[in-house]
Structure 1
Amino acid sequence: MQINTVSTQPIDGQKPGTSGLRKQTSVFMQPHFLENFIQAIWTGIGGVAGKTLVLGGDGRHFNEQASQVVLRMAAAGGAAKVIVGQNALLSTPAASNLIRKRKADGGIILSASHNPGGPNGDFGVKYNTANGGPAPESVTSKIYEATKTLTEYQIVESQDIDLSTVGETKLGETVIEVVDPVTDYAELMADLFDFDAIKALFAGGFRMRFDAMHAVTGPYATAILEDTLGAAKGSVINAVPSTDFGGGHPDPNPIWTKPLVDEMFSETAPDFGAASDGDGDRNMILGRGIYVTPSDSLAAIAANATLAPAYAGGLAGVARSMPTSRALDRVADKLGIACFETPTGWKFFGNLLDAGKATLCGEESAGTGSDHVREKDGLWAVLFWLNILAKRGVSMQQLMAEHWAEYGRNFYSRHDYEGVDAEAANALMDDLRARLGTLAGTSPSGLEIESADEFAYDDPVDGSRTEAQGLRVHFADGARLVFRLSGTGTVGATLRVYMEALATDGFDRDPQEVLAPVIAAAEELAQIKARTGRDAPDVIT
């Protein structure tokens, strides 16, 4: 085996975000770009000699080529073993499960999650640690520092490894084990949920539609929902992964899954609808004639969690990201358990899950999960809902109506302004940040502001502090407004504005109508139109 040492130099723009490093695919395909970042990961984690890694991705353009690079660089670094999904495919939650089940030292996940794929789309690389979760900032900061001082990387010279056949081979002294990407994950789901109850639900004529969005979840959903649980053939649509996600946008929200939403609101709608994203960690939940927001989905799962076998003993606690609606808080209060509010980014849930302080957690951006892995998990959320519906014996509409009657409804919406000029977006945030201390007692658009601040998080497990995590405005009537700049885009800046208002009746109203005063207050406070030149959000969810 010949190991080549390749001279290189630092490349700007390789600072990992909340979910690894994401760039346009063409950037990752530039000479040395991927190799530099992988070498920086090896340096940041103290090398890979003697270690076992998990490797897989969502199948987007450049996934197979990038996998071969990672394998050759792992072998050059002296890795003992790399466990890789067949055809280089692994959903993000399945990768997390494999890391934990096989007691690997970490893993490389090749994905840009819900971002578009293809030659003109996006690509991403994320390192997960031995607990199966995204690397914490203590690790990503070391990786970033390594990117700034690289002068060379090592890579084995070899033919591509055959990743189409399950089994073991060797690259030098490194064992390459190709595994079926679905098997271990499917076994985990069977341990968590009442599959017999779900089978009976389908046997009784229950119909569902799952949109895999031409992404990695297709094989998982087909194997579990149709082949194992008995959902009718064709219940899973867009089930074959595609390098460009069928030309679509693999983000499970009502905008990008419009055909599914239209079907769920039609006269012939199935009983249940769902979708998942590019790498399988996000979800969208619908019933006949109803869209359930991710915030409400998280709250309803928490309220009904003991109906699933793995959670029958109750929840240790729950956690949500700060921008997520406070519907979960109300459930936690009634259950008498802690509800933690964290910054956006799944890595912040890791400490709470590892310490046993939280069992369920979720984000408004369609991510829901539990302590079964250390990633959000789209198909897990779908199976949890099926378990709940099978046990409750009610429709989605009835279940949510009963939930809101008991807890109230947090009407909620997120407005995304995508590809905004970064300088303009930062100026908007800086100006609003400077005025936070003067806002209490003022009444933009007739809503009295009770308090305003910039969210900072003190981790109750390790004592670390994370600052500058979003601007919050709390109104006297219980409404809330949050401004954040997202780190998941690859072009310009994405300004996200989150709005919620609590109601104790009138639950069937249009959220945008209920939230109209909060939306108007957001415009008055931030002057979004004047500063960004945008008359309306690009995406409303």
Structure 2
Amino acid sequence: MIKTIETTPYADQKPGTSGLRKRVTVYQQPNYVENYIQAIFDSLEGFEGQTLVIGGDGRYYNDVAIQKAIKIAAANGFGRVLVGQGGLLSTPAASHVIRHHKAFGGLVLSASHNPGGPDGDFGIKYNVSNGGPAPEKITDAVYERTKVITSYKIVEAGDVDLSRLGTQQVGGMTVEVIDPVADYAGLMETLFDFEAIRALFASGFRMKFDALHAITGPYATEILEGRLGAPKGTVVNGVPSPDFGGGHPDPNLVYCKDLYDELMSADGPDFGAASDGDGDRNLIIGKGRFVTPSDSLALLAANAHLAPGYKAGIMGIARSMPTSAAADRVAEKLGIEMHETPTGWKFFGNLLDAGRVTICGEESAGTGSNHVREKDGLWAVLLWLNILAVRKQSINDIVTEHWATYGRNYYTRHDYEEVDAGIAGQLMEDLRASLPSLPGKSFDEVRIVYADDFTYTDPVDGSVSGKQGVRIGFEDGSRIVVRLSGTGTVGATLRLYLESYEAVGGRHDLETQTALGSLIETAETLTHIKKRTGRSEPSVIT
């Protein structure tokens, strides 16, 4: 039986770069989930009788929200829902399931790398039929709908048994509970040389993969230990937990310090990796060498042809604007297209669909390719393993050889988290106002050659996205970028990105913060972030 329930709007349901992320307690408000999902369906057309994919990263409230979503989908006329067993689907796996089963779209229930648990974060994101995040024209329409919604439709039915594979009925809609890993693992086998990677492990190669009690645990266990022959125990913290084992599922050097320390030790493994809450980010560490996400993008693009899925070469590379220009130098040498987009994986979708690019990446530890329309943490790990198996070198040797060929882009990101939103917003406005006066000025004897607020015009559909981050560039190729992040749930997160290029033949062995020391001082002179926020140092440095 379909019921129409009266409701009142919430004023705070504006999706960010990756859907609507809020505290769990916000989502637990009456009709909060129902309003948002109904607003999504109200903003779409043509889904009658179509297939919808639903899954999440297993965080707290995932199970409750999925049952609501299934019943609302049934009431609104979807013909079939595919849902991962236990309600689980990594974000890249959800993208693949949408594409593989030719679904109309999907609901991904996650707050990615944000903490979980009753006091943590939750999120809902809608992905379109190409498997990628909804473009701004859809998310804007959803937000407008949330402001005026007066009712939602829901089927009055019992909960679906998400533990049991197979089909069940909700109203007139079929719900199929699927193995969350099988389709994705099969796709990985078509892209990478599993035989070569098996031989690598058989040779005594040692690896540790930290799943951080998040969604990639089952995927990594099946693929690395089950199909590639890595020793049992290669995957640690591999069982998804509603609160991520009480940890923070963000694969960076702060929350994966134990893994980093182990890889820096004399008797540590050859390769260390981690992924985040929903499986779309990655951390790559070799023995004695941390690989920055920006460098990883460039290295993966330069070596992708070593994997069977990319042996014909790549069509182009895309990176988010704050990501370092290391990949640009690879694209130039390969003679392929290079695109700079705003932050947010949705901006890569049109380029991928049009065949303009093959590999994409963001400095925030997200890399992926045209195999899906999301960044993909485990994909990046497997491509690295494929490269290591073919080149038979250490990660350190591969990285230093790359710098010797292309030069090194020293690069860092300083995050100021949970800053007062009013202070952060005013800081950005004041910085934007100062931009016209900056070109021609010199700091530390280096002249500013451009200062702007990045605006992106999509080369495929012509859509324009403005106010995507302040860029200040210097004549020596160094630059400063400042932007507000759209992934936090409390206050505002100010991100400061700093980059300086050291050419081929230059000094490539400096510690990053040391190499960027003068640029860090210049950035504070220009932005006054520390002074205006009252912070003596960043919350996180990556």
TM-score for both structures, normalised by structure 1: 0.99
Output the CA distance in 2 between the equivalents of 1:355 and 1:193: 23
For residue 278 of structure 1, what is the aligned residue in structure 2? 277
Q: Deviations over 1:36-58 (max 9, x none)?
A: 00000110113743121000000
For residue 319 of structure 1, what is the aligned residue in structure 2? 318
For the residue of structure 2 that corresponds to 1:448, the secondary structure is strand
For the residue of structure 2 that corresponds to 1:286, the secondary structure is strand
Q: Does the CA-based 8 Å contact 1:415-1:496 persist in structure 2?
A: yes
Q: Deviations over 1:465-486 (max 9, x none)?
A: 1111000011111111100000
For residue 225 of structure 2, what is the aligned residue in structure 1? 226
Q: How many residue pairs get matched?
A: 540
Residue 507 of structure 2 corresponds to residue 522 of structure 1: no
Output the CA distance in 2 between the equivalents of 1:265 and 1:237: 18
Residue 13 of structure 2 corresponds to residue 11 of structure 1: no
1:118-133 aligned at under 5 Å gives the runs 118-133=117-132
Output the CA distance in 2 between the equivalents of 1:531 and 1:125: 33
Output the CA distance in 1 between the equivalents of 2:169 and 2:197: 42
1:91-170 aligned at under 5 Å gives the runs 91-170=90-169
Output the CA distance in 2 between the equivalents of 1:464 and 1:530: 37
Q: Does the CA-based 8 Å contact 2:157-2:171 persist in structure 1?
A: no
For the residue of structure 2 that corresponds to 1:99, the secondary structure is helix
For the residue of structure 2 that corresponds to 1:325, the secondary structure is coil
Residue 81 of structure 2 corresponds to residue 55 of structure 1: no
Output the CA distance in 1 between the equivalents of 2:451 and 2:315: 31
Q: Does the CA-based 8 Å contact 1:444-1:525 persist in structure 2?
A: no
For residue 533 of structure 2, what is the aligned residue in structure 1? 532
For residue 413 of structure 2, what is the aligned residue in structure 1? 414
For residue 439 of structure 1, what is the aligned residue in structure 2? 438
What is the one-letter code of the residue matched to 1:492? G
Q: Deviations over 1:269-302 (max 9, x none)?
A: 1110100000000001010011000000000001
1:474-513 aligned at under 5 Å gives the runs 474-504=473-503, 505-513=506-514
For the residue of structure 1 that corresponds to 2:217, the secondary structure is helix
What is the one-letter code of the residue matched to 1:95? A
Q: How far 1:85 moved relative to its partner?
A: 0.1
Output the CA distance in 2 between the equivalents of 1:267 and 1:247: 29
For residue 468 of structure 1, what is the aligned residue in structure 2? 467
Output the CA distance in 1 between the equivalents of 2:48 and 2:171: 13
What is the one-letter code of the residue matched to 1:17? G
What is the one-letter code of the residue matched to 2:109? L
Output the CA distance in 1 between the equivalents of 2:47 and 2:458: 29
Output the CA distance in 1 between the equivalents of 2:17 and 2:502: 33
TM-score for both structures, normalised by structure 2: 0.99
For the residue of structure 2 that corresponds to 1:79, the secondary structure is coil
Q: How far 1:145 moved relative to its partner?
A: 1.3
Q: Deviations over 1:436-461 (max 9, x none)?
A: 11111212344321211111011100
What is the one-letter code of the residue matched to 2:165? V
Output the CA distance in 2 between the equivalents of 1:5 and 1:465: 38
Q: Does the CA-based 8 Å contact 2:191-2:308 persist in structure 1?
A: yes
For the residue of structure 2 that corresponds to 1:525, the secondary structure is helix
For the residue of structure 2 that corresponds to 1:127, the secondary structure is strand
For residue 424 of structure 2, what is the aligned residue in structure 1? 425
The CA RMSD over aligned residues, in Å, is 0.8
For residue 188 of structure 1, what is the aligned residue in structure 2? 187
Q: Does the CA-based 8 Å contact 1:445-1:520 persist in structure 2?
A: no
Output the CA distance in 2 between the equivalents of 1:158 and 1:447: 67
Output the CA distance in 2 between the equivalents of 1:523 and 1:446: 16
Q: How far 1:411 moved relative to its partner?
A: 0.6
1:362-373 aligned at under 5 Å gives the runs 362-373=361-372
Q: Does the CA-based 8 Å contact 2:325-2:409 persist in structure 1?
A: yes
1:329-368 aligned at under 5 Å gives the runs 329-368=328-367
Output the CA distance in 1 between the equivalents of 2:162 and 2:196: 37
Output the CA distance in 2 between the equivalents of 1:443 and 1:57: 49
Instruction: Give structure 1 regions of 4+ aligned residues with deviation exceeding 6 angstroms.
Output: none
Q: Deviations over 1:401-420 (max 9, x none)?
A: 10000000101000000000
Output the CA distance in 1 between the equivalents of 2:61 and 2:212: 18
Q: Does the CA-based 8 Å contact 2:349-2:373 persist in structure 1?
A: yes
Q: Does the CA-based 8 Å contact 1:447-1:517 persist in structure 2?
A: no
What is the one-letter code of the residue matched to 1:33? Y
Output the CA distance in 2 between the equivalents of 1:207 and 1:529: 42
Mind listing any 5+ residue stretches in structure 2 that lack a counterpart?
A: none
